[in-house]
Chains A and B, each alone.
Chain A
Amino acid sequence: DAKTTQPTSMDCAEGRAANLPCNHSTISGNEYVYWYRQIHSQGPQYIIHGLKNNETNEMASLIITEDRKSSTLILPHATLRDTAVYYCIVTVTGGGNKLTFGTGTQLKVEL
């Protein structure tokens, strides 16, 4: 699985968009980008995943650059409940394959 690099921490004002970047410059053509988040003392929660097209669901949007070497997770209107550690994971098969968690980005949403 390709290695990912994320900022250690970010702050965001409540109600504003939170944009979380992830670099994955060694991504292979058949690897997907998955995003999970972990709220304190809970198991990770799946957010979204994509291969090369931008994706959107009820939780977030995923923007993948054309060369696929980086991506951005967008929480359009962050709330206090979005405070969590966000993990960007690159893997060929997100379901059947083990996931390698890096250190992630600690997002703190403040009033």
Chain B
Amino acid sequence: GAVVSQHPSWVICKSGTSVKIECRSLDFQATTMFWYRQFPKQSLMLMATSNEGSKATYEQGVEKDKFLINHASLTLSTLTVTSAHPEDSSFYICSASPGTLHQPQHFGDGTRLSIL
């Protein structure tokens, strides 16, 4: 089945540093990938839609200069949290689809980000 890999699974860093999270589709190509964020005891909230070869589309309220998304190939999208602060601590999850219209999205296992 379709597999989406996310790395790292867990990261702790100091306030002010930047953190890069990778999302890879291992056995299929993904023109579109999605980035979600989940705070404790809450549901997933979409942050942005990542499009291969073009700029990401951000949801309202998500700072595009803080959350940089790059989708350089059909199997890799990256999310960089720039100048991270404690309020950016969250569970970040990516998803991708093989592309045919009604095929489901498959999710990575998420990245737990803790900013000290």
Chain A residues with CB under 8 Å of chain B are: 32, 34, 36, 38, 41-46, 49, 87, 93-96, 98-104
CA distance A103 to B46 in the complex (A): 14
* Contact across chains for A95 and B99 when beta carbons are under 8 A apart: yes
**Which B residues lie within 8 Å of A38 (CB)?**
44
Closest to B100 in A: A95
The total of interchain contacts (Cβ-Cβ below 8 angstroms) comes to: 66
Distance from B5 Cβ to chain A, minimum over Cβ atoms (Å):
10
- Known contacts A49-B104, A95-B103, A102-B43, then 17 further A-B pairs from the complex at CB < 8 Å, ordered by chain A residue: A34-B104, A38-B44, A41-B91, A41-B110, A43-B6, A43-B107, A43-B109, A44-B93, A44-B107, A46-B104, A46-B105, A94-B97, A94-B102, A95-B100, A98-B49, A101-B43, A101-B45
* Contact across chains for A41 and B112 when beta carbons are under 8 A apart: yes
* Contact across chains for A96 and B43 when beta carbons are under 8 A apart: no
* Contact across chains for A93 and B102 when beta carbons are under 8 A apart: yes
**Which A residues lie within 8 Å of B44 (CB)?**
38, 44, 99, 101
